[in-house]
Amino acid sequence: MKVIYGIKNIKKFPKPVVALGVFDGVHRGHRKILESVVRKARRIQGTSMALTFWPHPQKEKSLYSLQHRLRLISETGMDVCVVIRFNQSLARTLAHDFIRDILYKKLAVSYIFVGSNFKFGKNAQGNCLALRKASQKNHFKVKVFPVTRLHGIPVSSTMIRTLIKKGDLATAQRLLSRPVTILGTVVRGISFGRKLGIPTANIDLHHEVIPPNGVYAVKLIWRHKNFKGVCYIGPKPAFLRQKTQENIEVHIQKFNKNIYGQTLEIQFIRKIRNPRKFFSPAALAAQIRKDILKSSSTL
């Protein structure tokens, strides 16, 4: 998938079929839109394109980092993704100016696929009705998708974010149509796990919503390869006397590569236990070994 950053760098492509939205979370409702765009573009021998925004228009609400979002959009088979920076200038742009200057003049869209609740333009005045009205003048077609529901529950990034934060991973997974995941970079720690004989990778999150503190059975993806592991979310052990408030570490089973600075995807399968206090390295090491055994039986 080709990624284009910024309005100035937008180029024209043959017969663009555009999915318009933030697509934070790329949940099952988003995937319906994105996959429909890909199918339509292939049928008309056009270009499948997602047009998304970063940072999230609503502060503090982003479910995934941009890198994570782009990875998931790419998995739908999309040809191109345009990332438009959401700033004060864009926030002041009138809906009809956005349609005229970006969708029509810059992209020369053939089709726009959009969710029924998507808003854009100054004061969020733009919606699917505005797109349909503009399409008659500018000769493109609009397809509007209703809100996806699962067992009566509306599928939304807001709902998924809430579920993850309170630890309801099973329901979040159903709404996402895939496991709850986070993406992060492996960074150097104090190598305390290695001293215990149980090496762990410290994770610096790109900007992701994480489950509550605890120990989880996880699957890890590194360079398109899958591994089993255990993830700990919570403070460092008291006996280390470190003031870090939030700590994410993973132990990867049967793995001994140096992956500092590399990206790791963590899929949460099941919570094993809540955090506990340990007052000695030996007690902590014994519990981690139990966690690894329990995780192995879960996975």
Q: What is the pLDDT of residues 172-200, one digit of tens each?
A: 999 999 999 999 999 987 776 777 788 88
Instruction: Indicate the domain borders of the chain.
Output: 2-153, 179-298
- In the predicted structure, residue 169 carries a pLDDT above the cut 90: yes
The pLDDT score that the predictor gives to residue 162 is 95
The pLDDT score that the predictor gives to residue 225 is 94
Mean pLDDT score of the chain, rounded to an integer? Answer: 91
Strands 248-252 and 225-233: antiparallel
The pLDDT score that the predictor gives to residue 59 is 61
CATH of domain 2-153: 3.40.50.620
- Return the minimum-mean-pLDDT range out of 2-11, 183-192, 264-273: 183-192
pLDDT in tens, 52-110: 999 877 766 689 999 999 999 999 999 999 999 999 999 899 999 999 999 999 999 99
Residues 6+ apart with CB under 8 A from 162: none
The pLDDT score that the predictor gives to residue 241 is 58
The pLDDT score that the predictor gives to residue 45 is 98
Pick the CATH number of 179-298 from 2.40.50.140, 3.40.50.720, 2.102.10.10, 2.40.30.30: 2.40.30.30
The pLDDT score that the predictor gives to residue 245 is 60
The pLDDT score that the predictor gives to residue 249 is 93
Percent of the chain with pLDDT over 90: 73
